[in-house]
């Protein structure tokens, strides 16, 4: 029997207060009628409520879910794992430093690695890859052995069988060979040189590392130091055993120099070009007769930049790979003990205890990015007034993680300006990103005057200055810096498994976020000619990226659904009308990809193949992006939008969340990464826009 004294939840109360007919009726589309004269959104659902009433309840539940998930500092922490090479690199460092994880943690790491193993025994580049990777299979095999697994355990037997069938670890991509060198499981003469002397070139030279994309630059910086020093962990019985297991007794007879360009098919996403081969051969000639005095000077120059990176990021470093490699540098160098201890302690921030085990994330967190989107999703909904406390705490996090000072001596260390920017994670990380700055500024302005203390006018203006400084000659915005070199640099990409890593590129997503931030600033403070010009140039760039089918390719999530959403929003922010042909072509493209159940499903191989590849089942986050695009693009097909809204409502879990799906983040065209919080706020945002659409 129901308890007559039970309190009514906010969601139940909202539902009881939603009277029939309290929302405007939508003009019926004959293709969406459930009963004569009754529109689909008004037709009773399973609980006897119209779709609009059910969407309202769904949004209440989603906000309650976000409130439960919100961290005490106002942010949202989430799983940002997925790349399969990060955890074994960390485990290798632990072994070299004799700092092995405790048994429980080691067991959870083993669980995660095994959860990514494919049926054929291999491990792919990322946790959901549809193909194996020698790079990741070899490194994860080593990690499992370091963590205490026996070579006779079935998963390891299957891993060795796969590696043997595909040519063995000599076919691992270059980063894999590099880490094996550090562990004494591959010979340094078996990789192409990574010359520290390049850091001594005049900065105006084409091959100076300052031209590289900052992530690439900061990875190959410690690699150059470690290569130049031929750094290697002490030989131990486990390493001797692994040499036998990985190389099947061929360690002593392997012709290492002949393996420099060897790569198995699965790892050869970016094959070695003739240009790269000639450059490698030239470096090998230099390496054979390099001057000891010049090498010493180059090593010192590299170390200077490594220490600067440590200090600028409070030892977090720009990302996990250079964080681990910089720790290796300090482990191996004389007098590096204190730097190693600080760096090794900071690596804890990259570890994440997930539902599938303990993993190593692709950044120290995605807190600012997630918090900015969570704020906007709540504000877009009709239930924002129920979330004042949530918004106040979230605003505090955004305010407190804006970068409030520039770096000293930044030009000498090839850094862009920082003041006023926002990072992807937290202020201590120290690297502002263009799109994060745009999204952070939007949130600071959207909540301006509601909560105190606020972001100061000085810092709001500095955010605009930083955004404007990010705009490139083509009108587009890149990630952390201006584009510093031509596309021809990609012909020198030595990674083999990643694409578009050599220089920063302009992206529709980054451009859109920056345009939105600038446009919001103008709405608050009035027009400025330089901002108007930036908006015009940015819109022209986005329009130039539209494909013949109306789509826009995204680069930081999968893929055309993501890029098209960002592009539509960016163009509207820049002042284009929804009726413009470019926006209507984008809307038509999305409509052509909608599935019969109202959803969208784009497979991650879209990024690799650079064309739409249909997924296996409807994806909640991609459906959210598409629905937002249709609403903002003033799509005339009301039935299509209602089907999408219904899919989102009916996919929601009882606790207000949406279930985990295929990872949807991606980087460098080949590697998926998890944005677990996307499933918590993007459906709310989409339903909010749909509920507030013009009816």
pLDDT score at 46? 60
3-state secondary structure of 114: helix
pLDDT score at 40? 46
Q: Do domains 40-69+581-695 and 71-80+365-545 have the same CATH topology?
A: yes
Known catalytic residue: 435? yes
C-alpha dihedral, 657 to 658 to 661 to 666, nearest 10° = -70
Cα–Cα distance, 109 to 103 (Å, whole number) = 10
In CATH, what number does 86-360 get?
1.50.10.20
Predicted TM-score (pTM) of the model is 0.93
Domain ranges of the chain: 40-69+581-695, 71-80+365-545, 86-360
Q: Model confidence over 186-234: pLDDT tens digits?
A: 999 999 999 999 999 999 999 999 999 999 999 999 999 999 999 999 9
The one catalytic residue in 129, 370, 435, 676 is 435
Q: Model confidence over 289-338: pLDDT tens digits?
A: 999 999 999 999 999 999 999 999 999 999 999 999 999 999 999 999 99
Rounded to the nearest 10 degrees, the angle between the axes of helix 678-691 and helix 51-69 is: 140
pLDDT score at 39? 43
In CATH, what number does 40-69+581-695 get?
1.50.10.20
pLDDT score at 24? 27
pLDDT score at 610? 97
CA distances from 143 to 179, 183, 220, 360 (A): 11, 11, 23, 13
Cα–Cα distance, 94 to 100 (Å, whole number) = 5
DSSP type of residue 267:
G
What topology does CATH give the domain 71-80+365-545? Glycosyltransferase (1.50.10)
Cα–Cα distance, 136 to 176 (Å, whole number) = 7
pLDDT score at 14? 33
**Residues 145, 238 contacting (CB under 8 angstroms):** yes
Rounded to the nearest 10 degrees, the angle between the axes of helix 581-593 and helix 620-632 is: 150
Cα–Cα distance, 237 to 230 (Å, whole number) = 21
Could you state, in chain order, the average pLDDT of each consecutive group of 10 residues for the chain (695 residues)? Answer: 36 32 29 34 64 98 98 98 98 98 98 98 98 98 98 98 98 98 98 98 96 98 98 98 97 97 98 98 98 98 98 98 98 98 98 98 98 98 97 98 98 98 98 98 98 97 98 98 97 98 98 98 97 98 98 98 98 98 98 98 97 98 98 98 98 98 98 98 98 86
The Cβ of residue 154 has, within 10 Å, a number of other Cβ atoms equal to 8
Rounded to the nearest 10 degrees, the angle between the axes of helix 560-573 and helix 581-593 is: 150
pLDDT score at 16? 34
**Residues 127, 663 contacting (CB under 8 angstroms):** yes
pLDDT score at 694? 77
pLDDT score at 48? 67
Q: Do the bridges between strand 665-667 and strand 671-673 make them parallel or antiparallel, or are there none, so unpaired? A: antiparallel
**Residues 441, 467 contacting (CB under 8 angstroms):** yes
């Amino acid at each position: 029997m129901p308890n007559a004294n039970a309190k009514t939840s906010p969601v139940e109360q909202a539902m009881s207060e939603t009277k029939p007919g309290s929302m405007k009726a939508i003009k019926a589309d004959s293709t969406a009628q459930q009963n004569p004269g009754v529109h689909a959104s008004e037709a009773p659902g399973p609980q006897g409520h119209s779709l609009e009433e059910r969407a309202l309840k769904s949004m209440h539940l989603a906000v309650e879910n976000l409130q439960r998930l919100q961290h005490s500092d106002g942010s949202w922490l989430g799983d940002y794992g997925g790349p399969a090479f990060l955890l074994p690199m960390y485990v290798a460092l632990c072994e070299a430093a004799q700092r092995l994880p405790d048994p429980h943690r080691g067991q959870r790491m083993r669980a995660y690695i095994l959860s990514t193993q494919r049926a054929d025994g291999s491990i792919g580049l990322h946790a959901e890859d549809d193909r194996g990777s020698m790079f990741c299979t070899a490194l994860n095999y080593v990690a499992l052995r370091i963590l205490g697994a026996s070579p006779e355990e079935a998963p390891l037997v299957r891993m060795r069988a796969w590696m043997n069938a595909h040519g063995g670890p000599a076919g691992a991509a270059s980063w894999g060979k590099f880490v094996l060198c550090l562990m004494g499981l591959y010979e340094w003469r078996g990789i192409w040189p990574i010359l520290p002397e390049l850091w001594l070139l005049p900065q105006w030279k084409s091959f100076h590392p300052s031209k590289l994309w900052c992530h690439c630059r900061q990875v190959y910086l410690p690699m150059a130091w470690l290569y130049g020093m031929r750094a290697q962990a002490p030989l131990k019985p486990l390493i001797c055993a692994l040499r036998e297991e990985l190389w099947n007794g061929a360690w002593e007879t392997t012709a290492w120099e002949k393996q420099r360009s060897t790569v198995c098919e699965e790892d050869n996403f970016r094959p070695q070009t003739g240009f790269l081969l000639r450059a490698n051969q030239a470096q090998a000639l230099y390496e054979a007769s390099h001057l000891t005095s010049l090498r010493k000077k180059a090593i010192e120059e590299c170390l200077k930049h490594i220490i600067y990176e440590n200090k600028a990021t409070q030892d977090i470093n720009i990302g996990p790979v250079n964080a681990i490699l910089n720790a290796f540098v300090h482990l191996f160098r004389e007098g590096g003990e204190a730097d190693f201890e600080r760096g090794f302690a900071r690596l804890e921030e990259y570890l994440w205890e997930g539902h599938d085990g303990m993993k190593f994330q692709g950044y120290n967190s995605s807190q600012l990015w997630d918090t900015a989107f969570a704020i906007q999703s709540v504000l877009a909904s009709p239930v924002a007034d129920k979330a004042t406390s949530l918004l106040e705490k979230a605003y505090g996090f955004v305010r407190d993680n804006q970068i409030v000072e520039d770096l000293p001596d930044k030009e000498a260390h090839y850094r862009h300006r920082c003041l006023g920017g926002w990072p992807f994670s937290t202020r201590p990380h120290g690297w502002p990103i263009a799109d994060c700055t745009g999204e952070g500024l939007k949130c600071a302005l959207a909540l301006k005057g509601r909560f105190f203390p606020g972001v100061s006018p000085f810092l709001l203006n500095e955010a605009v200055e930083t955004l404007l400084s990010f705009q490139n000659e083509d009108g587009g915005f890149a990630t952390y810096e201006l584009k510093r070199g031509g596309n021809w640099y990609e012909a020198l990409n030595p990674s083999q498994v990643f694409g578009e890593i050599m220089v920063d590129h302009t992206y529709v997503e980054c451009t859109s976020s920056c345009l939105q931030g600038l446009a919001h600033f103008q709405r608050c403070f009035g027009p400025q000619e330089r901002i108007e010009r930036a908006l015009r140039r940015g819109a022209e760039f986005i329009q130039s990226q539209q494909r013949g089918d109306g789509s826009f390719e995204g680069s930081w999530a999968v893929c055309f659904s993501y890029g098209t959403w960002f592009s539509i929003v960016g163009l509207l922010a820049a002042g284009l009308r929804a009726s413009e042909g470019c926006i209507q072509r984008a809307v038509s493209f999305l409509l052509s990809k909608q599935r019969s159940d109202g959803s969208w499903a784009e497979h991650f191989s879209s990024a690799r193949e650079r064309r739409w590849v249909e997924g296996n089942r409807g994806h909640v986050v991609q459906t959210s992006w598409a629905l937002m695009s249709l609403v903002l693009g003033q799509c005339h097909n009301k039935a299509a939008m209602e089907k999408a809204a219904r899919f989102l409502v009916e996919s929601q879990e009882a606790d207000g969340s949406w279930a985990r799906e295929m990872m949807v983040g991606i980087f460098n065209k080949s590697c998926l990464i998890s944005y677990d919080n996307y499933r918590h706020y993007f459906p709310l945002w989409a339903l909010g826009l749909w509920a507030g659409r013009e009816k």
